[in-house]
């Protein structure tokens, strides 16, 4: 079987759209003025930022002024959680999140705990979703912020965001609701106003826009303390000369992803269903979490008994198939997932799990080659492991 080049690690990062690459090059070579400068070069750069902000705001049905550009999704999470907590600490110092959040969220919470805040970490069920009853029980009069991921980056579970937003505002209208949408933006139609979301984080390199850019949606009226101070760019919310090429890239990629999102999601769900139906026929293969339309369209987590994930990952890499054993940002021991443990996955499968994550570039032929390779190498690896 001839080796190919199959990229199935799109939850870690994505290949940029060719149109985005062209725009970045043009922006760097011709629109290189400082967007704060008042000459024509600066104004041209500022216009590019305005266009990107308009494009992103249109995808969220929000106002342009509610978009703040950051260097990445991690910075957006930090700004929302730490900045939001510090700005609203007079109303209370209690925060809520889940036990399976991205390190950018969990470490922001730990930072706040060091500053005297109290954090409640909600457990998840066997599908890696919180229970709304647990959330309701955790909200207190002094709860100032709840932060939840929209889509889990390891198993693709979708949190009940709209239901959580409505519950939070019913129990304590003053509590801010932050959503880490790094894995969801571009994969779902998100309407912050309807879902009662006060702040929402997204990252450029997860949506074919390249690394080094992200954004934070901040609903008008929400108080957030800036974490970066300096020249007062972006109305003082995030000082520093804007990354014009990156911002332009994120604006264009957002527009491209949402242009035909219904059709693209249908195709991704079809590919996901196909892959799951085939991989489930392999002996000792167990799909983790939900698998239908109530799960993410692009993430598939599969545990393969009798083989270490890193060994399997390396074998697939030799075949030109690029996957991962979990979150690329995890500080845990490779292959050991807090999410899988929280879901109650059997201990012997925790270090035997592979994450396959697709994108709009993924084709059925890629999955067929991957399945064929799994069937070829898995028995040999299991035989070797038993020795």
The whole-angstrom distance between residue 59's C-alpha and the CA centroid of its chain comes to: 16
Whether residue 387 is predicted with pLDDT greater than 60 in this model: the reply is no
Structure tokens given for 43:
């104004």
- Helix (H) or strand (E) holding 207, with range, is none
Catalytic, 329? Answer: yes
Q: Could you give the percent of the chain with pLDDT greater than 90?
A: 91
Q: What is the mean pLDDT of residues 229-254?
A: 96
Rounded to whole angstroms, how far apart are CA atoms 221 and 117? Answer: 23
Q: Assess contact for 310 and 334: CB atoms under 8 A.
A: yes
Whether residue 379 is predicted with pLDDT greater than 70 in this model: the reply is yes
Q: Which of 4-18, 128-142, 313-327 is predicted with the least confidence, judged by mean pLDDT? A: 313-327
Per-residue pLDDT tens for 327-351? Answer: 555 544 454 688 999 999 998 899 9
List all residues 6 or more positions away from 378 whose beta carbon is below 8 Å from its beta carbon: 282, 304, 307, 312
Rounded to whole angstroms, how far apart are CA atoms 281 and 331? Answer: 33
Rounded to whole angstroms, how far apart are CA atoms 103 and 170? Answer: 29
pTM for this prediction: 0.95
List all residues 6 or more positions away from 216 whose beta carbon is below 8 Å from its beta carbon: 67, 68, 70, 76, 79, 80, 199, 200, 201, 202
Whether residue 204 is predicted with pLDDT greater than 80 in this model: the reply is yes
Q: What is the mean pLDDT of residues 83-94?
A: 98
How many other CB atoms are found less than 10 A from the CB of residue 111?
14
3-class DSSP assignment, residue 377: helix
Say which of 21, 62, 72, 329 is annotated catalytic.
Answer: 329
pLDDT of residue 363: 98
List all residues 6 or more positions away from 386 whose beta carbon is below 8 Å from its beta carbon: 306
pLDDT of residue 330: 55
Strand partners, 302: 287, 354
Per-residue pLDDT tens for 275-317? Answer: 999 999 999 999 999 999 999 999 999 999 999 999 999 999 9
CA distances to 21, 79, 88, 306 from 223, in Å: 35, 11, 7, 51
Rounded to whole angstroms, how far apart are CA atoms 45 and 30? Answer: 9
- Helix (H) or strand (E) holding 86, with range, is helix 84-87
pLDDT of residue 225: 98
Tokens 């109303």 belong to residue: 91
Whether residue 79 is predicted with pLDDT greater than 70 in this model: the reply is yes
Whether residue 271 is predicted with pLDDT greater than 60 in this model: the reply is yes
Shortest CA distance to 179 belongs to which of 157, 167, 158, 197? 197
Domains of the chain, by residue range, sit at 6-15+260-386, 18-259
Per-residue pLDDT tens for 29-49? Answer: 999 999 999 999 999 999 999
* 6-15+260-386: CATH architecture: Alpha-Beta Complex (3.90)
Q: What is the mean pLDDT of residues 246-255?
A: 98
Whether residue 323 is predicted with pLDDT greater than 90 in this model: the reply is yes
> What's the mean per-residue pLDDT of the chain?
95
Rounded to whole angstroms, how far apart are CA atoms 39 and 363? Answer: 47
Rounded to whole angstroms, how far apart are CA atoms 358 and 368? Answer: 13
Shortest CA distance to 360 belongs to which of 212, 206, 235? 206
Whether domain 18-259 has CATH 3.40.640.10? yes
353-357 and 299-304 strand pairing? antiparallel
Q: What is the mean pLDDT of residues 245-259?
A: 98
pLDDT of residue 335: 44
List all residues 6 or more positions away from 199 whose beta carbon is below 8 Å from its beta carbon: 80, 84, 176, 177, 178, 179, 216, 217, 218, 219, 222, 224
């Amino acid at each position: 079987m001839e080796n190919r080049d199959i990229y199935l690690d799109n939850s870690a990062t994505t290949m940029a759209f060719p149109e985005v690459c062209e725009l970045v090059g043009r922006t760097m070579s011709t629109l290189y003025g400082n967007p704060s400068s008042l000459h024509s070069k600066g104004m041209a750069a500022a216009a590019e930022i305005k266009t990107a902000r308009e494009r992103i705001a249109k995808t969220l049905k929000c106002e342009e002024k509610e978009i703040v550009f950051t260097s990445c999704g991690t910075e957006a999470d930090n700004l929302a959680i730490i900045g939001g907590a510090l700005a609203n600490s007079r109303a209370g110092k209690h925060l809520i999140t889940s036990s399976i959040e991205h390190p950018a969220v969990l470490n922001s919470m730990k930072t706040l705990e060091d500053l005297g805040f109290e954090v409640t970490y909600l457990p998840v069920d066997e599908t890696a979703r919180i229970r709304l009853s647990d959330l309701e029980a955790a909200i207190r009069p002094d709860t100032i912020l709840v932060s939840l991921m929209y889509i889990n980056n390891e198993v693709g579970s979708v949190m009940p965001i709209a239901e959580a937003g409505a519950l939070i505002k019913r129990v304590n209208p003053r509590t801010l609701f932050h959503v880490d949408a790094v894995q969801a933006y571009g994969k779902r139609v998100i309407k912050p106003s309807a879902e009662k979301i006060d702040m929402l984080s997204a990252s450029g390199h997860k949506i074919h826009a390249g690394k080094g850019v992200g954004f934070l949606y901040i609903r008008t009226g929400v108080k957030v303390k800036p974490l970066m101070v300096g020249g007062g760019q972006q109305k003082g919310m995030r000082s520093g000369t804007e990354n014009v090429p990156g911002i332009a890239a994120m604006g264009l990629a957002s527009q491209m992803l949402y242009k035909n999102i219904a059709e693209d999601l249908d195709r991704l769900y079809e590919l996901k269903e196909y892959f799951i139906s085939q991989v489930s026929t392999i002996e000792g293969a167990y799909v983790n979490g939900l698998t239908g339309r109530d799960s993410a369209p692009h993430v598939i987590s599969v545990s393969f008994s009798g083989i270490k994930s890193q060994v399997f990952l390396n074998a697939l890499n030799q075949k030109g198939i690029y996957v991962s054993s979990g979150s690329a940002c995890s500080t845990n021991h490779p292959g050991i997932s807090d999410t899988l443990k929280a879901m109650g996955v059997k201990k012997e499968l925790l270090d035997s799990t592979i994450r396959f994550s697709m994108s709009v570039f993924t084709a059925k032929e890629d999955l067929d080659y991957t399945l064929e390779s799994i069937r070829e190498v898995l028995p040999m690896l299991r035989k070797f492991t038993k020795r």
